[in-house]
Amino acid sequence: LLNPGDGPFPGVIDMYGDEGGLIEFRSSLLATRGFAALSLPYFDFEDLPKVMKEFNLEYFEEAARFLQRHPKV
């Protein structure tokens, strides 16, 4: 989520919650404060594992690269 404007904005990866799924309200709040916030689910969402037990670190690395490459970050 992005604040309106040209940027650049500081980027934040938001992995909020331990219930799984995609939770975006906190990222929305960060965006209103001038951050480029990426809500990142890490289990129990679409094709991600249903339970939090093993993590593929490449998934998190790709999220960081995605945010770094964004033209407004």
pLDDT one digit per residue (tens) for the chain, 73 residues: 787 788 899 999 999 878 889 999 999 999 999 999 999 999 999 989 999 888 889 999 999 999 999 999 9
Residue/partner pairs of 26-32 with CB below 8 Å, 24 or more apart:
27/1, 28/1, 30/1, 31/1, 31/2, 31/3, 32/3
- Domain extents for the chain? 11-69
Other Cβ atoms less than 10 A from the Cβ of 30: the count is 20
Residue ranges of E strands in 1-73: 11-14, 36-39
In 3D space, the residue among 57, 12, 68 whose CA is nearest the CA of residue 38 turns out to be 12
| Percentage of the chain lying above the pLDDT 90 cut | 71
Average pLDDT, the chain: 91
